[in-house]
Amino acid sequence: MKAILDTKPESAYDDEIAGRYHFPSRYLGVMSRCVGDWVVFRRPRAGGEGIAYFAVGRVAGITPDTTTPGHHYAVIADFLAFDRPVPWRVDGKYAEAALRKITNVPQVGLFLRGKSVRELEEADFVAIIETGLSETSDPTNARMLGLDQRSVDEATWNLVNAPPEIPERGVVEMLVNRKVRDANFRRAVCRAYDDRCAVTGLKIVNGGGRSEVQAAHILPVADGGPDIVQNGIALSATAHWLFDRHLISIDVNMRLLVSHNKVPAELRQLFAPQAERILLPKDSRMWPSSSFVAAHRERFAGV
């Protein structure tokens, strides 16, 4: 069963949305039926932004909260942020069937009280995902995101270029397709860093509109690293190669660390402009997570 999970910044719950969702026992029945299936995350009206759906993930399991009686954690896998938040209502029409059935709009708020976890119909799930990933799947962005026919396998090409009336199975295939996820991750990271390499400050965009900067995972996907901006950093191809091999890293103050005995001097000169601190997104919420950076730095120290 698919569901909507409401969450908000600075919540009293112990959420870490890309990995876990904290909830009280009254939602245990609904959450248990979601295990193995997909959920959509919705944010409240906060910070001047509207109520919207902002990400999707799969409930991999449920574990009890051993420190807070009557609470549990939903283990979230395959988390994927949307290209842009999806409004929960457009032209007076709600995205959720249960809300569309309410004719008296002021009653919607009352209906949602005590329903931070609620069932989502398949057709509404498909519509929200299609809208949420519309930039990633837009054919005009294929070259920029590395989803053009020369860059992907036939199955991925057919998936991304399927007609709008794709079935639910097609949407789920998009959510787990590595090429699609990499394209979504690249778009988000490059946008956060304004297409500039974090360690050289260089910004190069080719004639096709594709940035030459690459999106590097700080904690590799193979090691459980999520596809979120906070686990990413924009790097040039050379810097990316060095970063993946832990020949460069980041300290606790976001300054560049370089393995001087293994990185040639001519490359170190490229990093000089960023010696004090790497280039970071203007929005501090998009900065690299300290936990992911610490894991990378530990491997750097062992190289």
**Which tens digit of pLDDT belongs to each residue from 288-298?**
999 999 999 99
- Domain 3-132 in this protein, CATH class: alpha beta
Of the pLDDT bands very low, low, confident and very high (cuts 50, 70, 90), residue 19 is very high
Question: What pLDDT was estimated at residue 303?
Answer: 65
- Per the model's pLDDT, the better-predicted residue between 215 and 145 turns out to be 215
Structure token digits, residue 179 = 């090429």
Structure token digits, residue 230 = 């906070």
pLDDT of 238 over the 60 cut? yes
pTM higher than 0.85: yes
Instruction: Tell me which of 37-46, 61-70, 111-120, 163-172 is least confident.
Output: 163-172
Helix or strand run (H / E) with residue 99: helix 97-100
- Contact yes or no for 187/83 (Cβ under 8 A): yes
pLDDT of 35 over the 90 cut? yes
- State how far the alpha carbon of 260 is from the alpha carbons of 247, 248, 274, in Å: 9, 9, 15
Read off the pLDDT of residues 118-155 as tens digits, 9 standing for 90 and up. 999 999 999 999 999 999 988 888 888 888 888 889 98
In the chain, list all ranges with CATH 3.10.590.10: 3-132
Q: What is the mean pLDDT of residues 222-249?
A: 94
Question: What pLDDT was estimated at residue 31?
Answer: 97
Q: What is the mean pLDDT of residues 150-176?
A: 82
DSSP secondary structure string for all residues of 196-236: --TTT----B-TTS-BS-EEEESS-GGGT--BSGGGEEEE-
Read off the pLDDT of residues 84-131 as tens digits, 9 standing for 90 and up. 999 999 988 999 999 999 988 788 988 999 999 999 999 999 999 999
pLDDT of 209 over the 70 cut? no
pLDDT of 1 over the 60 cut? yes
CA dist 243 and 198 (Å) reads 11
Of the pLDDT bands very low, low, confident and very high (cuts 50, 70, 90), residue 218 is very high
Give the CB-side neighbour count of residue 170, counting CA atoms within 13 A.
19
Of the pLDDT bands very low, low, confident and very high (cuts 50, 70, 90), residue 158 is confident
- Contact yes or no for 39/29 (Cβ under 8 A): no
Question: What pLDDT was estimated at residue 274?
Answer: 58
